[in-house]
Amino acid sequence: MTNATVQAYRASLLHFHADPAFTPDAHHWHEDGLLVVADGKVRAAGDYATLRATLPPGTAVHDHRGKLITPGFIDTHIHYPQTDMIGSPAPGLLPWLDTYTFPTERRFEDPAHAERVAEFFLDELLRCGTTTALVYCTVHPQSVDAFFTASEKRGLRMAAGKVLMDRHCPDFLRDCAESGGRDSEALIQRWHKRGRALYALTPRFAPTSTEAQLVVAGELARKYPDIYIQSHVAENEDECRWALELFPSARSYLDVYDKYGLLRPRAVYGHCIWLDERDRARMAETQAAVAVCPTSNLFLGSGLFDFERADQAGMLLSLATDVGGGTSFSMLQTMNEAYKVARLKGSYLPALRMFYLATLGAARSLRLEGTIGGFAAGAEADFIVLDPQATPLLARRTAHCDSLEELLFALALLGDDRAIAATYAAGREVHRRA
Ligand code: GUN
Ligand code: ZN
């Protein structure tokens, strides 16, 4: 290996090998650390004092001392077409969908519009330190092409898919069971595993799909076991009542997805607020994962996710923004509100756990452990440089932290896109803060 292909980054390093809620010493922390990257992959992560001797002579060492390197954040639930309607007011989920979401998504019929929004969206994620996301496009197949084209240009590991929606929506956004299935399959064949792209089958939520469409979705899920499935469940009480009216034979809202074979590994469900104990057990058993979306849940008044019950059931957890229902692209801001949601439910989320959920926890939910979300040798080199002195207030607060937990907590509670000094994807710099 020539020294030109090896790059090394000196900073404090943090990554995880286990969930700190269940395993003591689940994290690796190197106060004066070195991340060694070659050909877009992690070659080693450890103490600077140990690893510097292993570098080929003449290797460039990028000096980020005083800053913190972690794996890039992973956002497991976000809608790129809703970028332009972030922060739009409405009294709850269902009126918000009708008033803002559907008219905004209509514009993605135009591939040029889709391309412009996809470009902005990905740059904004990278500014916030998010290197992988599980992304909703719109019902239009061209919105998926625009997204993956923009993502491929940047060399990002992204999962996304075309929304399936064949009822209870405006005509201009409606597919049908047959066309939705055919379009999804064509997109799977075009994009799944092309470069770093991964496909996600995307029935919007049970109320906007007929039984016929859910049958088709279940068939595709069986035929392509390594694609993702993403949807919404148990976000809002009105939505839950509506779902049960539409599917009277289901035991619960979650049970609708179960009946059609849509609970399985690589299935990720947004929200999961109003689940009962049987639902939680079923999620754990099938290894379907939860995307917890606190900024969205507080903004839309949907409810408070129960971390304690989810952990008791052994559910796979991750954090997500749910932009445009969510009010920030930043996973730090998302941690901030997750922490408060946990407090309001009488439980406690340490900062270390929140950083786990936004990195390795999400990678596990996506079955991508060893590929992203950590610094094991051979992992893809998606990482960020966090600056504890990014703002005057952060600098003042982090000047006297007595523990790693205090430092991470300050970054989560006071940080946002300004705390991301640089973002790297597959070893390439894709954002640097001016
Ligand atoms: N449920 C169905 N569609 C949506 C959406 O676009 N956003 C959110 N937050 N919930 C939904
Ligand atoms: Zn959503």
Give pLDDT tens digits for 275-290: 999 999 999 999 999 9
Ligand 1 pocket, residue 93 CB under 6 Å: yes
Q: Residues 6 or more apart from 228 whose CB is under 8 A from it?
A: 134, 159, 161, 198, 199, 200, 201, 266, 267, 268, 366
Whether pLDDT at 11 is above 70: yes
CA 434 to centroid of ligand 1, rounded, Å: 34
Ligand 2 (ion): residues with CB under 5 Å are 270, 322
169-218 pLDDT tens trace: 999 999 999 999 999 999 999 999 999 999 999 999 999 999 999 999 99
CB of 232 closer than 6 A to ligand 1?
yes
Query: Among 2-6, 57-61, 370-374, which stretch is predicted with the lowest mean pLDDT?
Result: 2-6
Q: What is the DSSP string of 20-86?
A: TTTSTT-EEEEEEEEEEEETTEEEEEEEHHHHGGGSPTT-EEEEEEEEEEEEPEEEEEEEGGGGGGT
Architecture (CATH level 2) of domain 73-349:
Alpha-Beta Barrel (3.20)
Q: What is the mean pLDDT of residues 78-91?
A: 97
Provide the percentage of residues in the chain whose pLDDT is more than 70.
Answer: 99
Residues in the chain: 434
Closest residue by Cα to atom 11, ligand 1, is 232
What is the chain's mean pLDDT, rounded?
Answer: 98
Domain(s) labelled CATH 3.20.20.140 in the chain stretch across 73-349
CB of 77 shorter than 6 A to ligand 1: no
| Atom 9 in ligand 1: residue holding the nearest Cα | 325
Query: How confident is the model at residue 3, as a pLDDT?
Result: 53
Ligand nearest to the CA of residue 273, numbered in listed order: 1
Tell me, rounded to whole angstroms, the distance of Cα 427 from its chain centroid: 20
CA dist 164 and 203 (Å) reads 4
Looking at the chain, which residues constitute the CATH 2.30.40.10 domain(s)? 3-71+374-432
Does 131 contact ligand 1 (Cβ within 6 A)?
Answer: no
In CATH, what is the architecture of 3-71+374-432? Roll (2.30)
Q: Which of 38, 268, 14 is nearest to 132 (CA)?
A: 268
> Nearest ligand, CA of residue 208?
1
CA–CA dist 222, 214 (Å, integer): 12
Alpha-carbon distances, residue 176 vs 172, 201, 424 (angstroms) = 12, 15, 40
Give Dmax over CA atoms of the chain in angstroms: 69
Q: How far is CA 372 from CA 94, 337, 375, in A?
A: 35, 24, 8
Residues 259-286: what's their mean pLDDT? Answer: 98
What are the backbone dihedrals phi and psi of residue 124, each rounded to the nearest 5 degrees, phi first? -70, -40
Closest ligand to the CA of 297: 1
With a 6 A CB cut-off, is 271 part of the ligand 1 pocket?
no
- Place 4 in a pLDDT band, splitting at 50, 70 and 90: low
Q: What is the ipTM of this complex?
A: 0.99
Q: 10: closest CA among 71, 72, 66?
A: 66
For residue 324, is the peptide bond before it cis, meaning its omega torsion is within 30 degrees of 0?
yes
pLDDT of residue 378: 98
322 CA closest ligand 1 atom index: 9
Confidence class for position 22, pLDDT limits 50, 70, 90: very high
